[in-house]
Amino acid sequence: MTRDYRAKQNPRHRRPARTGGGTILGIFIGLVLGLGIAAAVFYYISRTPSPFQNATGQAKNTANGNGSAASPTAAADKPRFDFYKILPGAEEAKGGTERKSPEPKSAEPRAAETKAGKPVEGKPTDIKGSEQYFLQVGSYAQVGDAENERAKLALLGFEASIQAATLPEKGVRHRVRLGPYASAEEMNRNKAELGKRGVEATVIKNP
């Protein structure tokens, strides 16, 4: 029997062929893990209140609180303002009630004052050297009223004087007069000008 002395060839160990299945599986596992981590982070962020939102909410609450606190203050200040606004009016009303009404102008100055001067009827046509004529526009018991009348005449362009005289049973009277006039023409012209401005004047003769 013949033997085969040829060296026996050892069978080669076959290496497993690399396949793409492992790579795809690794990628898939990585994607799943990444999505899971992203979902966890999103859930945590959504559940945790944002500090910016808290700061905004606190600012709004503070503003609302200041507004609500300012409203009572404004409401409290309003009556105080109205009180001070009404108070001067009340004082004016009180002063108006206590203020004495001015005495009406007496018609006596425009009538005859027998002792201090004689009224002249009509318009004198001639003035003698020894005679004096005045235009009297008022006679007052208070010197302040006479001063006011003289100031009104000054605004109209007339220069007047105040003459004080003591009358029987009437006391001191302050008479507002224009003059004396050197001519009857000048006196009559001034009297006509006073009448145009609504001022009634009486011609008084003082010898």
Domain ranges of the chain: 24-99, 118-206
Among 178, 169, 180, 185, CA closest to 207: 180
Strand partners, 136: 177, 202
Q: Convert the pLDDT of each residue in 135-165 to its tens digit.
A: 999 999 999 999 999 999 999 999 999 999 9
Question: Looking at beta carbons, which pairs linking 151-160 to residues 24 or more positions away fall under 8 Å?
Answer: 153/178, 153/199, 156/194, 156/197, 156/199, 158/190, 158/193, 158/194
Q: Report the CATH architecture of 118-206.
A: 2-Layer Sandwich (3.30)
Return the DSSP state at 128.
-
* Residue 195 token pair: 């009448």
Among 43, 23, 25, CA closest to 35: 43
Q: Convert the pLDDT of each residue in 78-108 to its tens digit.
A: 545 444 444 444 333 334 334 444 454 444 4
Q: Convert the pLDDT of each residue in 16-53 to its tens digit.
A: 555 556 788 889 899 999 999 998 898 888 887 665 55
Chain-wide mean pLDDT for the chain? Answer: 70
Among 193, 187, 176, CA closest to 142: 176
Higher pLDDT, 68 or 92: 68
Q: Convert the pLDDT of each residue in 16-25 to its tens digit.
A: 555 556 788 8
